[in-house]
Amino acid sequence: MEWTVPAQTFTLANVHIMSPNKYQKPVAALAYKDEDVTLPSFSTLLPPLPIKSYDSDTGKLVLSLVGVPAILTKFIALQSRILNAVHSNYTTWFPSERQQSLDEISAAFQPLIQNNCLHLYCPLVTVGSFNEISIYSGTAWSKGVVPATLLVPGKTIRAAVRLQSISFHQHPITKALTGRFRIQHRILALFRPTTA
């Protein structure tokens, strides 16, 4: 079981951006601290959201946030805060790199929020794999391969999502930073509302 914070109630100030690790691929953890509780990553339970698209070849799942403007505003603010943190800490985190402008950093970022939609990666998994997603289809829980009937555009779905870190891309051979980065996340569970 993993603690999740409802998207309706998470507080932006409680999401903390840590310094990247120095021993492997650079990853800056996103922790959630609320009073006496510190969670090593920020996991949130989204409200029921309409599926805008799903690409079964790539696993790209796009959920519309148009109907929940308060949550859309929070996620846009979180994404903006992450971009500003990377910009202001870039030379501290990566002393051998050239300082980049906020525009350059924004252009190199793979957005989580774009066009009022949340862009997630819902990998195709096989039973027994590490990336299995818990699925509730209205009658029972299962784990494993996401059924094609669950992620149909226009249908409504709830998702529990862990935003684990900011992942900085490296060249596969030289290991030099390419400048590109994204919010590394994982879908923990999908719920089909009984009215969907």
- Report the predicted TM-score, pTM, of the whole model to 2 decimal places: 0.88
Number of domains composing the chain: 1
Please write the tens of the pLDDT for every residue from 25-60.
899 999 999 888 888 889 999 999 999 999 888 889
Q: Is the residue at 89 inside a domain?
A: yes
Q: Is the residue at 72 inside a domain?
A: yes
Closest CA to 15 of 121, 158, 163, 119: 163
Please write the tens of the pLDDT for every residue from 68-94.
999 999 999 999 999 999 999 999 999
Spatial separation of the C-alpha atoms in residues 28 and 177, rounded to whole Å: 14
Q: What CATH number does the domain containing 103 carry? A: 2.40.50
Q: Is the residue at 84 inside a domain?
A: yes
Q: C-alpha distances in angstroms, 99 versus 26, 91, 109, 150, 167?
A: 17, 6, 15, 44, 18
Q: Is the residue at 71 inside a domain?
A: yes
Spatial separation of the C-alpha atoms in residues 82 and 183, rounded to whole Å: 9
Q: Is the residue at 94 inside a domain?
A: yes
Query: In terms of residue numbers, what domain contains 65?
Result: 5-191
Q: Is the residue at 196 inside a domain?
A: no
Q: Assess contact for 65 and 71: CB atoms under 8 A.
A: yes
Q: Is the residue at 120 inside a domain?
A: yes
Stretch 158-162: mean pLDDT: 94
